Homo-oligomer: A and B are copies of this chain.
Amino acid sequence: MRRSASRAVIMADQWPRCVREMKGVILDMCGVLYDSGEGGGVPIEGSVEAVRRLKSSDLQLRFCTNETQATREKFVGKLKRMGFDIDVREVFSPAPAVVAILKERCLRPHLLVHDDLLPEFDSVDKFNSNCVVIGDAADNFSYQNMNTAFQILISLEKPLLFSMGRGRYYKETDGLKLDVGVYMKALEYACDLEADVVGKPAPMFFQSVLNDMGLQPHEVLMIGDDLVNDVGGAQRCGMKGLQVRTGKYRPSDERDPTVTADGYVDNLACAVDTILKYRCV
């Protein structure tokens, strides 16, 4: 793809300085580390080794995902079985963040989420719900479950909807699948409200990762396959954002009118090659 290659070259001119100032990297997970699908998914070629190389460098590394189909523990366990060297404490996902908000504001959620995510909410009072929380519920996004969530929202004086992410779709091994953002939009329209997004691209979510690293935004690079939620979200926080041409990446992303990545690379392995090359100079 000549056009993309030439853009990558232009970008590459700016890399040396950018990489030398860098102190941390945040990685999106699905579509960067692995492609999800039946049986848990498969690692993307070179990604296991790329994570290992980043960990061996002097860069701080965190993982930032909108994954809500499993608890963080189960999710990290799956990635470990794929060969990734990842610790639960390095992973930031929306469910623990929304639980903190619910407790702080004394909110009792009705949950429209994947069955495997439910344990994350064990400590939350759910009786007589006064808000709705949705995640990537997949097959649980039935007409009946959507109606129940809608009926609860519309009966509240101040309907309150939390959406764990606002993604349009993600890639599984057997094709693209609708993500939580699509159902968020559906309920927003049904109830004439605006959801509170917890997860990428919410600035508060990225900031919590930066706080954990103790770094300033300009010292950190975000790498993701989602142009809007990974790259655009990170850029709005003052970070650099790199898009990989894996996962849900589509060639049209490189001519998107709203978001332009600071660089496009074929995959995570290429990104890490570039970073470590300039870092060692």
- Interface residues of chain A, those whose CB is within 8 Å of chain B, are 137-144, 146-147, 150-151, 154, 168-169, 175-178, 181-183, 185-190, 192
Contacts and interface: CB of A to CB of B under 8 A. Distances in A.
Nearest to A167: B190
10 contacts: A139-B143, A139-B144, A141-B142, A146-B178, A147-B177, A154-B169, A168-B192, A178-B186, A178-B190, A185-B188
Nearest to A146: B178
Given A139-B143, A141-B143, A142-B143, A182 B178 contact: no
Contact of A176 (B139, B154, B186): B154
Given A139-B144, A147-B177, A182-B189, 13 more contacts: A139-B142, A141-B142, A141-B146, A146-B182, A150-B169, A150-B182, A151-B176, A154-B169, A154-B176, A178-B186, A178-B190, A182-B186, A185-B186
A168 B189 contact: yes
How many copies make up the complex? 2
Q: Which 4 A-B pairs have the closest CB atoms?
A: A185-B189, A186-B186, A141-B143, A182-B186
B190 A182 contact: yes
Contact of A175 (B138, B151, B182): B151
Contact of A189 (B141, B150, B181): B181
A79 B254 CA distance: 54
A161 to B, nearest CB: 13
A137 B178 CA distance: 18
A151 B181 CA distance: 16
A144 B172 CA distance: 14
